[in-house]
Amino acid sequence: MTTKKATNRLLLQGNEAIVEGALAAGCRFFAGYPITPASEISEVLSVRLPQEGGIFIQLEDEIASMGAIIGASLTGLKSMTATSSPGFSLMQENLGFACITEVPCVVVNVMRAGPSTGLPTRPSQGDVMQAKWGTHGDHPIIVLAVSSVRDCFDITITAFNFSEKYRVPVIILSDEMVSHTREIVTLPSAKEIEIINRHTPTMPPEWYIPYEDNSMGVPSMAAFGDGYRHHVTGLIHDIRGFPTQNPDEIKAFMERLFRKIAVGFSEIQLTKSFFLDDAEVAIIAYGSVARFARQAVREARENGIKAGLLQLITLFPFPTPVVKKVLKRCKAILVPEMNLGQIWTEVSMVSEDNSKLHQYNRIDGQSITPQEILNQLIAINESD
């Protein structure tokens, strides 16, 4: 994440801030296919990336785009693609390939209402579970959510850092409201931004074992063309990258994939808290809804309701310890979402008393407003 000191004051759209964050993180390859409401990311990068010595390519579809960023990452470039909900569906097979081959890359999904073509210009949060389980098989994944223009900048950098450090694809979930909001933001200078790069091998090529285990569970990653032998396959493989059906090797490989995320969980688990110290009623929200919830909390306080907000930045791996603390501290929890309860389901699995949980959902392509959330808080407070 970035420091508070800042140097550049700009008027940016959320999608433009994602571009700035990607470039600041060192992204030098983008492949994508235009789709509303994510197209501005492609449009701006088509100009900015070549100026930074990077490569921009528009592919024929989202499947090819995902494959291209995997290939670019294997050559040593930090890579990214961006899409919206229908395109995200098309990326899932190659996303699974990135998971099993441990190729770092960042995928931005600017969610819109669905399913299928749905409502192209309307916001939604309907892709949360797809982000976790969209590709088949057991696999670890990191999913981050943005709620403001500044979030778009900071969290994009964080996504690249996590991807490089843990050798995993990282998904950024935005939504139409966040990505098309314009705000004045003050961005830090390059010197103030922490950048993490993948660990590359230091041993001679003949000693290199591409999927060798270590204390972090994250093997060093040689770039194609650097003289290191590196076999890449979508099949489950041994430590040298070749297919295996040995149960012991399969078990060790799968356990390592999950262990590396477990080892880094305390760092990966990102949340923000607002007025939670003395809160009696808490909101758990993410994305644009978290922003509206913050305003609702302020207005609830003015009405004598001790409300607070836990904003989830990391959706997966789910920040269970932080959520548990809020559940124990507060007498009631409200989970507003622009879906039928995808994160509410995660919260309910953590809760020991689901009677204190309350849902508020919209699936009509309209945003949840601060007033709607405030009305829910008032109703909960009166019922208690």
Domain boundary among 266, 283, 317: 266
pLDDT of residue 7: 57
- For each of the chain's 384 residues, which pLDDT tens digit applies? 444 444 589 999 999 999 999 999 999 999 999 999 999 999 999 999 999 999 999 999 999 999 999 999 999 999 999 999 999 999 999 999 999 999 999 999 999 999 999 999 999 999 999 999 999 999 999 999 999 999 999 999 999 999 999 999 999 999 999 999 999 999 999 999 999 999 999 999 999 999 999 999 999 999 999 999 989 999 999 999 999 999 999 999 999 999 999 999 999 999 999 999 999 999 999 999 999 999 999 999 999 999 999 999 999 999 999 999 999 999 999 999 999 999 999 999 999 988 999 999 999 999 999 999 999 999 999 887
Residues 221, 187 share a domain? no
The answer as to whether 353 is a domain residue is: yes
Residues 297, 233 share a domain? no
Residues 176, 44 share a domain? yes
Residues 221, 124 share a domain? no
Domain boundary among 139, 157, 192: 192
- Domain limits at 282? 272-383
CA–chain centroid gap for 93, Å, is 18
Residues 277, 258 share a domain? no
Q: How far apart are CA 202 and CA 211, in angstroms?
A: 14
Q: How far apart are CA 276 and CA 274, in angstroms?
A: 6
Residues 170, 236 share a domain? no
Number of domains in the chain: 3
Angle between helices 92-101 and 62-74 (to 10 degrees): 20
pLDDT of residue 383: 86
Residues 43, 110 share a domain? yes
Q: How far apart are CA 9 and CA 187, in angstroms?
A: 6
Q: How far apart are CA 151 and CA 174, in angstroms?
A: 10
Q: How far apart are CA 188 and CA 135, in angstroms?
A: 36
Domain boundary among 243, 266, 289: 266
The answer as to whether 70 is a domain residue is: yes
pLDDT of residue 2: 47
Instruction: For residue 141, give the amino acid letter.
Output: I
The answer as to whether 1 is a domain residue is: no
